[in-house]
């Protein structure tokens, strides 16, 4: 797979091919799953030509000027998620992340690595019933170019989606293959209500042309513009339309999910727009979305000299590292990674992967207030 085709797979969530060799990159995205990457495999009809501009310029020169916070996303959802759900059973609530993934390189240039990070937010309104609850859902998925470790201050955005919807549990899946699975396997439906999309002009114009042809959503898609649309803006599309168009038009997706045995995350099956297929798919146990539980301990007055002594330098470094993020959820994911750089290793030995995050929470908020960094009011 060439580096150009890499970004086709990268942007389309296509099935990857063989193992890496030289500039080839493979097996970086194995499947398209429920809450995830929008532009579909049908775009591989452009395989006769690259979807990446062959340029030797650093992508930073294209993108640096347009970076900056857009804090308009889902504030109501974020506020709702700050209140704990009183339930004895696990429930999708709060922040979930998937670790930084090294995807490959852009245009065969080893100085332009591509990495990806996901941050999700679930908020429950009303009573929670395991496997049946309707949950407001937002996912930020950002592809960075210029840094292999998903650091916003060391990279620029190649491609980004912020998608909104409702996750509805449809009860336990009664199929025989799931009857002995512990924890319980639940059916789920995801109804999308809209979202925002950013496409860098490093990518070929064919991508923008396809969106404008298949789902203009009452306007025009442009490079280097984080455009937000709702389901009402977008007309229903055909079954062969790009996945992003179907998502933005509100086409439901179906899949199975189960909590991990320690309730620290969840796994899903591959999704499908067809209910019969989606609820029949097997779970993919290795693809875990990890929960970052909130401490509900974010009072700035609790940031005393002892907490600041332990956390102050990291918080200041995090402000520098994350201030170029584009929206709330990207902020949350970046701040957590900066305060807990070894979280993936620490998670293997228990729940301490967020201990320092909780301890520093009052000082994160105090720093945000003192220096007018409202975007740092994170869900810690």
Residue with tokens 């789920």: 188
pTM: 0.78
Kindly give the residue spans of alpha helices, DSSP state H, lying in 13-143.
59-63, 75-80
If you ran DSSP here, which 8-state letter would residue 21 be given? B
- How far apart, in whole angstroms, are the C-alpha atoms of residue 135 and residue 123? 6
DSSP run (H or E) holding 256 = strand 253-259
Handedness of CA 225, 253, 10, 378 (dihedral sign): positive
Residue 61 — φ and ψ, nearest 5°? -65, -25
Q: How many CA atoms lie within 13 A of 310 on its CB side?
A: 15
Task: Say how far apart CA 6 and CA 138 lie, in whole Å.
Answer: 26
Calpha distance 56→108 (Å, rounded): 10
Strand spans (E) along the chain: 94-106, 109-124, 134-145, 156-172, 186-199, 227-230, 253-259, 265-268, 289-292
pLDDT at 243: 86
Helices first, then strands: H and E counts in the chain: 10, 9
- Report CA-CA distances (Å) from 56 to 39, 62, 205, 267: 25, 12, 17, 40
pLDDT in the model for residue 252: 93
- Among candidate residues 346, 331, 339, the one with its CA nearest the CA of residue 95: 331
End-to-end CA distance of the chain: 41
For tokens 């280097």, the residue is 224
Hey, which residues does 169 pair with through a beta bridge? 188
163, 148, 156: which is closest to 35 by C-alpha?
A: 163
Instruction: Tell me which residue of 270, 279, 230 sits closest to 250, measured CA to CA.
Output: 230
Question: Would you give per-residue pLDDT tens digits along the chain (380 residues)?
Answer: 333 323 323 333 322 222 222 222 222 222 233 343 443 332 232 222 333 443 333 333 333 333 343 433 333 334 333 344 333 446 788 899 988 988 888 888 899 999 999 999 988 765 555 555 678 889 999 999 999 999 999 998 988 999 999 988 888 999 999 999 999 999 999 998 989 999 998 887 888 898 899 999 999 999 999 999 999 999 877 888 888 889 999 999 999 999 998 888 999 999 999 999 999 999 998 888 999 988 888 999 999 999 999 999 999 999 999 998 988 899 999 999 999 999 988 888 777 899 999 999 999 999 999 999 999 999 89
Contacts of 354 (CB under 8 A, 6+ apart): 292, 293, 336, 340, 343
User: For residues 41 and 14, is the Cβ–Cβ distance under 8 A?
Assistant: yes
- Residue 155 CA to residue 54 CA, distance in Å, equals 19
- The tokens describing 32, both together, are 């398209």
Structure tokens at 344: 């993936």
């Amino acid at each position: 797979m060439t580096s150009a085709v890499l970004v086709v797979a990268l942007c389309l969530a296509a099935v990857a091919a063989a193992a890496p060799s030289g500039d080839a990159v493979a097996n970086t995205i194995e499947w398209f799953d429920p809450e995830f990457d929008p532009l579909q495999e049908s775009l591989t009809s452009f395989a006769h030509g690259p979807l990446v501009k062959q340029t030797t310029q650093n992508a930073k020169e294209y993108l640096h000027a347009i970076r900056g916070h857009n804090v308009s996303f889902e504030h109501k959802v974020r506020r709702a998620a700050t209140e704990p759900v009183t339930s004895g059973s696990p429930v999708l609530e709060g922040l979930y992340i998937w670790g930084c993934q090294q995807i490959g390189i852009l245009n065969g240039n080893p100085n332009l690595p591509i990495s990806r990070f996901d941050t999700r937010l679930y908020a429950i309104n009303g009573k929670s019933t395991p496997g049946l609850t309707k949950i407001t859902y937002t996912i930020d998925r950002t592809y960075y170019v210029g840094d292999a470790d998903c650091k916003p201050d060391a990279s620029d955005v190649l491609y980004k989606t912020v998608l909104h919807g409702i996750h509805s549990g449809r009860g336990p899946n009664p199929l025989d293959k799931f009857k002995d699975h512990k924890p319980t396997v639940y059916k789920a439906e995801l109804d999308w209500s809209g979202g925002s999309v950013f496409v860098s002009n490093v990518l070929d114009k064919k991508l923008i042309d396809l969106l404008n042809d298949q789902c203009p959503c009452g306007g025009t898609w442009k490079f280097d513009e984080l455009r937000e649309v709702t389901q009402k803006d977008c007309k229903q599309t055909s079954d062969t339309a790009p996945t992003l168009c179907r998502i933005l038009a509100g086409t439901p997706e179906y899949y199975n999910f189960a909590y991990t045995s320690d309730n620290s995350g969840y796994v899903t099956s591959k999704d499908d727009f067809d209910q019969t297929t989606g609820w029949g798919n097997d779970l993919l146990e290795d693809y875990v979305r990890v929960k970052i539980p909130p401490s509900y301990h974010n009072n700035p007055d609790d940031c005393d000299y002892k907490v600041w002594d332990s956390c102050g330098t990291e918080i200041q470094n995090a402000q520098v590292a994350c201030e170029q993020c584009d929206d709330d959820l990207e902020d949350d994911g970046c701040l957590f990674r900066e305060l807990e750089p070894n979280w993936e290793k620490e998670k293997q030995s228990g729940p301490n992967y967020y201990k320092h995050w909780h301890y520093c929470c009052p000082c994160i908020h105090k720093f945000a207030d003192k220096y007018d960094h409202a975007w740092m009011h994170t869900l810690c």
